[in-house]
Each structure stands twice: as structure tokens, then as C-alpha cells.
Structure 1
Amino acid sequence: MEPLTDKRAEIQQIKRVVQQAVDQYPRLIGFLITLPNRVQNTVQLFQNTVYQLLNDLVVTRQMSGKQVSPTILRWVWEAPPAQVCRGLLLMNQDTFCHPRHDIFVDCIETIEVLLHKARRIINRTQLDITPRISLYRVDRTRPEQSDTQYTHLQNCAFSLLPAVTALRL
């Protein structure tokens, strides 16, 4: 991952990442994660850990007969130097929460637990510090809300400027 250098290019890149995610998934979910410190390789380790834990969750859901939709993990991270590590994870909500078979609040709690667990795995020295997590949702199946939700998500992504972006299939 390389930091984006030109401010205009950064804004366009973030717009593209958010728009592609919204276009791809009717129920997009975003998690703004604030990790308490930034050390060497924190971002890469956290992304890899989340990817593995999410993969385990998908396998568990499939084994129990629950419907699981594919997703691409899109990340937008605040570029260093920063005291904390802030990142936005964008993904398909239907990967971990099917609207007909799951309770949304329970699904969100499951993902928040997964993100907290990923944090503990990458930094075992500060177990008492938990990441702050904020939720952003763009549900295009509810058009009366989706424009406002999209604006909130995009503003969240812009708050990470200067930014670094990454995709994980």
C-alpha cells in the first residue's frame, strides 16, 4: 500500500472506492476502526487477521446451512504519521447477515467481536485497550435512506485524508 500524494487524486480515489463498493453491494456496511497505536506493519497484520477471521466466520455460516454472499474487503486507511491508526472497512453486509435469516443487531455484534479479536491478536501487549468502531450502512434496498447513508459514508472516508487504500479479495 502506497500513500496517495496529490490531494485531488486522493479525493477521486476515495470516491471511486466508496462508489464501487456501493454499486457492487445493495447492502453495504462500513466499519470505521480506530486502533489505539500505530506500529510497524499494524495495518497489514490487522487486515490479514480480519480476513482470516472473516473467512472462518463464512465457513461456519456455510456449515450451518446459512446463506453467504461473496465480498471484497475494501480498506481506506489514514496515512501515517498519526498517533492512532484509523481505517474504514467496506464489505457486503450479506456475507455475514442475511436479511431474511439473521437479526441485524446480532450480526453487527458478531463483526464487532471479530474486529476486537483481530486487534487482540495483533497486539497482545495492550489487551485492555479496545478499538473504537463506528458503523456506516448504505442500504440501496431502501432508497428513501440510501442517499443520506451514502453521504455519511463518503464523509467518513474523506475524514481519513491523507489516505491509503487497499483491496482484499
Structure 2
Amino acid sequence: MIHYGEKNTPRTRTDNTDVVLIRTTLQQATDHYPRLAALDFTLQHTNSHPGGDIQQNRAQLLRFHAETYCRIGEYAKVRTNSGKLSQPTLLRWLWEEKHVSACRMMMLFNLGVCYSPQYDVSPDEEMQAMISLLMSAWRDVEPGGKLVEMTEYRAERTKPVAFGKHYSALREAALRMASPVAFGRSFPIA
């Protein structure tokens, strides 16, 4: 097994590396948020970049991550100003690094940013708001671009009876991502 902290060790990507990355990311997200939510979707480009420019695709994904984080921050402010609770979140991202005309991606976040049992009837409507934020962020980054194959997951440790089943479904969906898999976090922009 390759430990990335070791000096002079070649960093080769293998399916096993992707499995470890995915499991670690899911575990960290679950440990961090007892009410974990995830959106699994595919970003479709309107124009494939000539020659499959990997640098341009990565830059575009980073812009999408930043734009999404900003929109979620604004959404949280609106919720708070209207008297609803909105907890802070760190967005964790997993995505397939084989960029062509579409990119499968998963965003993990704190369900508490968009849903509070005290103020909201059901998380379904609030999850739709998060999906709308993702769609508008992608349209701004890739005019005419679409999000397709949207699936949502909620693995809440606060509901232990259903947690195992929901977490397993989330884990299995993440493990079906095509290799190589990339990882990122969206932090507040200063």
C-alpha cells in the first residue's frame, strides 16, 4: 500500500486507491455531520473542449465548486434572515476525473444547511432547493450545460434504524464511480 506521506514514493492511481479515497471521504463526512446529505449527478458540457483539455476541465470544475459554495452560503443567509435555522457546512466533492462531454460528481454536505425539523415540514422541498442551486451554478459556469441523472441520499445517524441502509446505498453509489476519482473540499471564500 502506498502512503502519500512517504517521500520519493511514486503516486500511481489504482482502483484500490480510489476505493480508499471514496471510503475515507464518506467516513469523514459521516463523522463530521450526523445528518449527512449527498447529491449524485452528472454534469453535461454543451461544448466538449477541443483535445479534451484536462487543465481547462479542472479549472471549470473548480469554478463550479466555488460558485456552488457561494450560492449555498447566500441560501443559508436567506434562511437565517427568515428565522429558519441553517447550520454551517463544508462541501465535500467526489468526481470522475475522465472529462469528456460529461462528468459524474457527488456533493456531500450537512443536511442542516437546508433543513431543520423545527422549521421545515420535510427535507424533500429543501433538497429541491439545493438541486436548483447546483443547476444554476452549472449554467453560470457552462452556459447551456445541464445536470442529469440526479439522485439524492440522506444518511442520518440521528435515525439509527434507517442509517445503515441509507449509508450503504450512498457508499455503493460512490464506489460505482469510474476510476480515476478526484476529491475536493469547498471552503469559505475570504
TM-score, length basis structure 2 = 0.80
1:115 is aligned to 2:134: yes
**Which residue is equivalent to 1:59?**
77
Structure 2's unaligned 5+ residue stretches are 1-10, 50-55
* Alignment of 1:11 onto 2:19: yes
Question: 1:34, 1:85 within 8 Å by CA — same for their partners in 2?
Answer: yes
Larger radius of gyration: 2
The CA RMSD measured in Å over matched residues stands at 1.8
After TM superposition, give the deviation of residue 168 of structure 1 in Å. 1.6
- Asked whether the equivalents of residues 36 and 154 of structure 2 are also in contact (C-alpha less than 8 Å), the reply is yes
- The amino acid that maps onto 1:151 is S
1:141 aligns with 158
1:69 and 2:69 correspond? no
Greater Cα offset, 76-85 or 148-157: 76-85
2:170 equivalent to 1:157: no
- RCO higher in 1 or 2 (8 Å CA, sep ≥ 6)? 1
1:44 to 40, 56, 62: 62
- Alignment map for 1:88-127 (pairs within 5 Å): 88-102=106-120, 103-124=122-143, 126=144
Deviates more, 1:33-42 or 1:64-73: 33-42
* Deviation of the 1:137 alpha carbon: 1.1
Paired amino acid for 1:147: G
Query: How far off is 1:130 after superposition?
Result: 4.3
Q: How far apart in 1 are the matches of 2:149 and 2:134? A: 10
Query: Normalising to structure 1: TM-score of the pair?
Result: 0.89
In 1, distance between residues paired with 2:172 and 2:63?
26
Segments ≥4 residues shifted beyond 2 Å: 37-42, 129-132
Q: What SS is found at the alignment partner of 1:134? A: strand
CA separation in 2, counterparts of 1:138 and 1:82? 31
Aligned-pair identity in percent equals 26
Contact 2:41–2:147 (Cα < 8 Å) also in 1: no
How has the CA–CA distance of structure 1 residues 4 and 64 changed in structure 2, closer, same or farther, with 3 Å as cutoff?
farther
What is the aligned residue count? 165
**Does the 8 Å CA contact 1:70/1:92 hold for their aligned counterparts?**
yes
- Per-residue deviation at 1:30? 0.3
In 2, Cα distance between equivalents of 1:83 and 1:5: 22
